[in-house]
């Protein structure tokens, strides 16, 4: 009798294991959750949804369209909160999206509202400026710049 109970317990645990581990993040769904939260003024929930989506989109197999949309929404959150806490995340997402497929990022314009299109355009300008700066900038402390945001932060300090 004990053997049957143990066997059933093991079988039930084995059947429940994939269900517990199968909670995969759907970036597109998280993007929509973030958009809805932003529309309702709930920036904390929006940021949480974006961070969760961003956590699974960290390699070259990621969707450039999703990365671009996440980048834009990070900008929108910062604009509405009057902060710049998430600009680094936005630029990181945008740079990865551009590295994967610049054409896909351009296609995103049709998926975005006017406000979001302006944010994507701004990210594009920041991305291009950071590349230009890194080509011509001399390190202030004798080290090489490996990070475009560090260059932008150093320029902010100099102003």
Q: How far is residue 12 from each of residues 4, 5, 6, 23, measured CA to CA in Å?
A: 12, 10, 10, 18
Please state the domain count of the chain: 1
Whether 5 is in a domain gets the answer no
Angle between helices 43-56 and 27-39 (to 10 degrees): 160
Whether 4 is in a domain gets the answer no
Tokens 């979001």 correspond to what residue? 116
Whether 117 is in a domain gets the answer yes
Angstrom distance (rounded) from CA 127 to CA 67: 14
Angstrom distance (rounded) from CA 16 to CA 51: 27
Tokens of 147: 């990070």
Whether 43 is in a domain gets the answer yes
Whether 17 is in a domain gets the answer no
**pLDDT tens digit string along 88-142?**
899 999 999 999 999 998 888 888 889 888 988 888 888 787 766 655 556 555 5
Residue 105's domain spans which residues? Answer: 26-138+146-158
Whether 16 is in a domain gets the answer no
Whether 56 is in a domain gets the answer yes
What is the pTM assigned to this prediction?
Answer: 0.67
- Indicate which CATH number applies to the domain containing 121: 1.25.40
Percent of the chain at pLDDT exceeding 70:
65
Angle between helices 114-136 and 64-81 (to 10 degrees): 100
Whether 15 is in a domain gets the answer no
């Amino acid at each position: 009798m004990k053997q049957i109970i143990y066997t059933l317990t093991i079988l039930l645990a084995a059947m429940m294991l994939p269900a517990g581990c199968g909670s995969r993040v759907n970036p597109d769904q998280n993007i929509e959750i973030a958009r809805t939260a932003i529309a309702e003024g709930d920036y904390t929930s929006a940021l949480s949804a974006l961070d969760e989506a961003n956590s699974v989109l960290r390699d070259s197999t990621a969707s450039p369209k999703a990365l671009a949309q996440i980048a834009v929404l990070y900008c929108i959150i910062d604009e509405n909160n009057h902060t710049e806490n998430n600009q680094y995340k936005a630029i990181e997402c945008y740079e990865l999206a551009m590295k994967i497929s610049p054409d896909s990022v351009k296609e995103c314009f049709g998926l975005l509202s006017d406000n979001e299109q302006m944010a994507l355009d701004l990210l594009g300008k920041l991305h291009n400026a950071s590349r230009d700066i890194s080509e011509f900038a001399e390190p202030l402390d004798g080290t090489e710049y490996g990070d475009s945001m560090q260059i932008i932060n150093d320029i902010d300090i100099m102003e």
